[in-house]
Structure formats: structure tokens, C-alpha cells
Amino acid sequence: MIVKQIWTANAYRNFNYLVACDQTGEALAIDPLDHEKCLDAARENGWNITQIVNTHEHRDHTGGNDALVRSTGARILAHKNASDAIPGMSRGLGAGDVIKVGKTVELEALDTPGHTMSHVCLLSHTDHPALFSGDTLFNAGAGNCHNGGHPAELYKTFSEQLARLPASVSIFPGHDYIHNNLRFTLNREPDNRRAQELLDTLQDQDPSRAFVSTLEVEREINTFFRLRSPTVIAKLREAFPDLPDAPDERTVFLKLRELRNSW
Ligand SMILES: [Zn+2]
């Protein structure tokens, strides 16, 4: 499996992806908003884009579909409940469905509601697994729930699915938000040295050669995985004085999500 992360350099800071089979050159495009950059990357590598997966229905993830289908004839795949919002879908995905790319690549669909209620993440079946996490999980952050989402569902997705993936999973998110997110982590957990070190290291990062984290790293730097950190809880109590003595993880997650909205 070859993964090409494509930096769109747009205002929304989207990442698009091509996932290719190294034997057949078939490729799958994930959220190909910048269809020209996706086509250029495929051409440079001699790949044929045969499928598109939209992680969810938001326009900054689906806006390149029409043009890419016109140039390649690729089929569009997305969450099975997204067909009203995504024109031209030819396959609806549910939890556990497997998408084959060429001969060597298998991607498993995870049903991951929260950012929207029709959101999929893709997990590769490879020795070194990769997660294409759309707008559910970002580097050092979590998706918002403003446009069709639900914070309690997002918490369930984090706790019941993402947190249980292997620590070695590489994370490929839908946007480059790492700087802002690390600043939020440090705002909530000022003694998080790993987050501070990473922010220092990535200060001048070129997003076209972006740092790729793993779940192991996210557990250290992502507030939304640090629901039992004494500092996170103590700081949260400053904002929410009624917080119980030993708040459950769901409560902490939802309060953090609320604070992130206005931060
Ligand atoms: Zn979105």
C-alpha cells in the first residue's frame, strides 16, 4: 500500500489522499477536494484512480467528486446514509465493509458518527496499519459537531472505536490543524511536555511534508484521549466549578468539546 498525502494549501487546510496498490497502480482517492492536485499526483506516479471515498458529506470533502469522476470514471463510495447528500454514490459503506484497491490493498470502513452522523474512517489491513480519520480525529484534536454532528456520539466513537485501535496506527486526518490543536492541548494541560516539544519541533512545518502521528502519540498529545489526566481535570474544574470529584470520561470529553468551541 502506498499512501500519498496531498496538501491542498486552501483556507480550510484540507488534506486529500491517494491510496495505491503497488502492483497494479490502481488508486483510491480520499476526500479529493483538489481534484487537479489528485490527478497530477496520480499521473506523476503512473496510477489510475478508480474509486473515491468521501469520509463524510461536507462540501470541503466532496467538492472535487464531479470533476474527478469526469476525468477518471471513478466510483464514489461513502457512508450508506450519505447518499442524499452525496450525488452519484455507487456504494454505501457500513461498519466492517472492506474496500479493495488493486490486488494488495484492503481498507476497512469504520462507522464513526459524531462530526456528522454519516462519517466513515478507513483502516488499512496492513502490517503497519493506517487510519484515514476524516474530520473525526485530527492530530491533537477532535472534529467539531456544528454541522450535523453530535458530541455524545463523537465521544462514543472515540472511546469505543478509536481508543481501541493498535497504538502503532498511523493517523491521516482530513485537515492540518496540528498547531492550533497543540495550543489547545497546552491551554488545557500546560504541563504536557510532549505537546510543547512537538509544537516547538513543528513550528515551521511545511504541510506538504507533514508530520504523521500514531495513536500512541495522540494518546500523549491529544486532549480528547487524556480524559483522566489530573491536570486536564483540575483545569476543567476552573471553568466548570460543579464538576464532580472524579468525573467520568464522558463528562470530561463533552466539557472539553464545549470549551474547544469557544476557544
Ligand atoms: Zn467536515
pLDDT in tens, 201-227: 999 999 999 999 999 999 999 999 999
Determine the pLDDT at residue 263. Answer: 87
pTM beyond 0.85, yes or no: yes
The DSSP-derived string for 3-18 is: EEEEE--STT-BEEEE
In the chain, which residues have pLDDT < 50? none
CA atoms within 13 A on the CB side of 96: 0
Give the integer Cα–Cα distance in Å for 25 and 101.
9
Active site (catalytic) residues: 56, 58, 60-61, 115, 135, 175
SS3 content of the chain, % helix, strand, coil (to 5): 35, 25, 40
Contact between residue 157 and residue 114 where contact means Cβ atoms under 8 Å apart? yes
Between the CA of 172 and the centroid of ligand 1 the distance, in Å, is 15
**pLDDT given for residue 75 in this prediction:** 98
119 alpha carbon to ligand 1 midpoint, in Å?
9
The string of pLDDT tens digits covering residues 15-61 is 999 999 999 999 999 999 999 999 999 999 999 999 999 999 999 99
| Contact indicator for 124, 111 with CB cutoff of 8 Å | no
**Sheet containing 120-124: order of strands:** 98-101, 105-111, 120-124, 130-134, 170-173, 213-214
Question: How far is ligand 1, taken at its centre, from the CA of residue 243, in Å?
Answer: 30
Predicted confidence at residue 220, as pLDDT, reads 98
Expressed in angstroms and rounded, the spacing between residue 115 Cα and the centre of ligand 1 is 7
Residue 29: predicted pLDDT: 98
